Chains A and B, each alone.
Chain A
């Protein structure tokens, strides 16, 4: 029984980070109806920037801040320089363009920082906590990850449901023409969606880096898990992305714990396939089918 609980606790931590990446994918989908496969590449790149700041200043907080700012700016750059020109042509082109951005960012990162995995020091201890005479697979660092995830989810939900900016963003995503005719500066809203996704992705990157290592390809596998979580959650749903992000983390932990670690991604992809067959709109998705 304690082993089972250990697995679940471990799953929660990786699930929280998957949830953040899934949130970033949902934010981009909501604003421009594109699945941004470059999201983890952007996060990797901004995490390298954060690491550079950490190494030169010694401050984790400044590193996080640099990651947030860098993530937002990089999101804007990718949208303005690549996606906006391509999206005028067609949607499938945009999705392929995001792969191009991913590969370019990875190549650029290897050129600047090299391909060797680097370690990112955590701001608080990442050792299992000792409670009731036993060491549990949860650390103060995991607690920080949960807290940041929870704060982001609440803040984003409030932004979308309670503010004029959030309403403008949703309207621009659902019906750009009606939004324009209502006086909303749609292009700005779409760009803001990409910047916001870049910030959330950067947070995910900075949070996950200390638990693994940082290299140009180290987040690739997370893309698959985050994509699964976002799609199963319905792509439009913030809460769906978070619920299934954490769910994916739990599945991964259980499969890895009781079976082979190598099987975990395949099990997740099978779950994705089953969901798409049974509920093509995603579990939290409603109505209309979509064209992905």
Chain B
């Protein structure tokens, strides 16, 4: 379980996160939705250690992660799949995948990569090719695979649907939901595409201007037209 308590971040005069508190339970997907500039990406980058918070904390299964370096946070089981194309085009598919677990003993690493190749057969077929020969959806699979290589207990996904066809988005999000259940992962999913995100999530959190404005079950939030009009602009 990931527990965020009163996390605040500011960039100069801009308060990007203002005392954000939330809980991400294991075994399900928690979706954070909100318009551009709501602070969703800042939240993810702060949890992964890329941005230093002013105050507040985040604990993964009772162990504090805030204030630590990104490479230590990922080693403690919290993996972020950042926004956009986060695979490295110059490296092969296999190299991109193994990157996620280089710090683990090689036997464990090989076992995990075999498991991931079973899950994504297309990656196994293309393991020796440069990763920029993959399609957008396949690259997102690779990014997810790389995050799984560190054997995480908590997975953060920042806008995985960005630039993908609707059909692929649905596939990826269903896969994320399946991963959460089967591997008992705490998954925090950030999306602008609210409708699709809420369909795979158990809990929905709406953010606006750096604060959490509403927490509810995914069905509740999806059904609330007023909420949608006010904060999601759609």
Contact = CB atoms under 8 A, between A and B. Distances in A.
Contacts of A168: 99, 102
Interface of A is mostly: helix
Nearest to A180: B70
Contact of A182 (B50, B69, B99): B99
A180 B71 contact: yes
Interface residues of B, number: 28
A261 B91 CA distance: 43
Interface stretch (A16-24, A41-49, A171-179, A265-273): A171-179
B99 A174 contact: no
Q: Which of under 10, 10 to 19, 20 to 34, or 35 or more describes the interface residues of A?
A: 10 to 19
B6 to A, nearest CB: 25
Contact of B90 (A164, A170, A186): A170
Contacts of A174: 88, 90-91
A5 interface: no
Interface of A: 164, 167-168, 170-171, 174-175, 177-186, 287
A191 to B, nearest CB: 14
Contact of A183 (B86, B87, B100): B100
A179 B50 contact: no
Interface in B97-136: 98-103, 106
6 nearest CB pairs, A to B: A180-B70, A183-B74, A182-B99, A183-B103, A164-B102, A174-B88
A130 to B, nearest CB: 49
B194 interface: no
Interface of B: 48-50, 69-71, 74-75, 79-80, 82, 86-91, 95, 98-103, 106, 146, 149-150
B80 A181 contact: yes
Contacts of A185: 71
B216 to A, nearest CB: 30
Contact of B74 (A164, A170, A171, A181): A181
A185 B69 CA distance: 9
A183 B50 contact: no
Contacts of A175: 86, 88
Contacts of B50: 177, 180-181
A182 B146 contact: yes
A182 B90 contact: no
Contacts of A180: 49-50, 69-71, 74
B150 to A, nearest CB: 6
